[in-house]
């Protein structure tokens, strides 16, 4: 089933956790009929810092063929999923740097009236996921986007995934010892990718209708 949804999944991941969530969003959106672009944002850390952590270097090299996000991806898409690891309770600087280049499409109102959701990962259970997502969503407010939180839809899976109503989120320390939990979070990412697709298609249909748009 093909829809009019064009979903951009834009993320940063140093060691692969957020990348796995991004891929699940892509799968959920594509299965629901969206055309999907998976885009990473540029690494900003100095080479010697990346090299000091083998897992970081390995992930950066392994994902080098994923295109970097551009402003044209934002203009093209009619629905957004942005992913970031939590960094000291906040959005990582790499994703912030990309968001901070969006003045031109923001001023042209090219980011408005589009559903946007966020996803994150922390190491700790109380490591700041909600703070990170709310911080990310502040930018969506300024864009005039339509913020699409997870709420408690798909409740059994949402509960098994930690019950975060602000956005899909994964606690790395729990995922490593609890495969059922990790599976539920990935299922929620798929679910939210599909839901984002349905919302993007619905909003696009309204905007295409000259009587309503």
Q: Which residues bind ligand FMN (CB under 6 A)?
A: 13-19, 85-89, 121-124, 127-128, 172
Tokens at 192, concatenated: 């939210």
Structural contact between residues 57 and 51, judged by C-beta atoms closer than 8 angstroms: yes
Q: How far is the CB of 189 from ligand FMN (least distance, A)?
A: 13
Residue 39, beta-bridge partner list: 10
Residue nearest to ligand FMN (CB): 127
Q: How far is the CB of 13 from ligand FMN (least distance, A)?
A: 3
Q: How far is the CB of 8 from ligand FMN (least distance, A)?
A: 18
Q: Which is nearer to ligand FMN, 90 or 101 (by Cβ)?
A: 90
Q: Which is nearer to ligand FMN, 54 or 213 (by Cβ)?
A: 54
How would you classify the pairing of strands 90-91 and 79-87?
Answer: antiparallel
Q: Which is nearer to ligand FMN, 15 or 101 (by Cβ)?
A: 15
Q: Which is nearer to ligand FMN, 182 or 200 (by Cβ)?
A: 182
Tokens at 157, concatenated: 């899976």
Q: Which is nearer to ligand FMN, 23 or 139 (by Cβ)?
A: 23
- Cα 130 to Cα 3, 37, 123, 167, 207: the distances in Å are 31, 26, 13, 8, 31
Q: Which is nearer to ligand FMN, 86 or 117 (by Cβ)?
A: 86
Q: How far is the CB of 135 from ligand FMN (least distance, A)?
A: 12
Q: How far is the CB of 126 from ligand FMN (least distance, A)?
A: 8
Q: How far is the CB of 120 from ligand FMN (least distance, A)?
A: 8
């Amino acid at each position: 089933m093909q829809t009019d949804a064009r979903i951009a999944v834009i993320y940063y991941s140093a060691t692969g956790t957020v990348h796995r969530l991004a891929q699940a969003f892509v799968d959920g959106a594509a299965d629901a009929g969206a055309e999907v672009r998976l885009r990473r944002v540029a690494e900003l850390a100095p080479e010697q810092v990346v090299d000091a952590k083998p897992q970081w270097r390995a992930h950066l090299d392994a994902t080098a063929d994923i295109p970097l996000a551009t402003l044209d991806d934002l203009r093209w898409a009619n629905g957004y999923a942005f992913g970031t690891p939590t960094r000291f309770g906040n959005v990582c600087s790499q994703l912030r740097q990309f968001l901070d280049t969006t003045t031109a499409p923001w001023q042209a109102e090219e980011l408005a009236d589009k559903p946007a959701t966020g996803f994150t990962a922390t190491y700790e259970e109380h490591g700041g996921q909600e703070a990170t997502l709310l911080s990310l969503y502040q930018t969506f407010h300024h864009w005039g986007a339509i913020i699409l939180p997870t709420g408690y839809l798909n409740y059994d899976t949402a509960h098994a995934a930690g019950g975060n109503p602000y956005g899909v989120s994964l606690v790395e320390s729990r995922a490593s010892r609890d495969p059922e939990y990790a599976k539920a979070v990935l299922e929620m990412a798929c679910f939210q990718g599909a839901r984002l697709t349905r919302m993007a298609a619905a909003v696009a249909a309204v905007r295409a209708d000259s009587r309503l748009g």
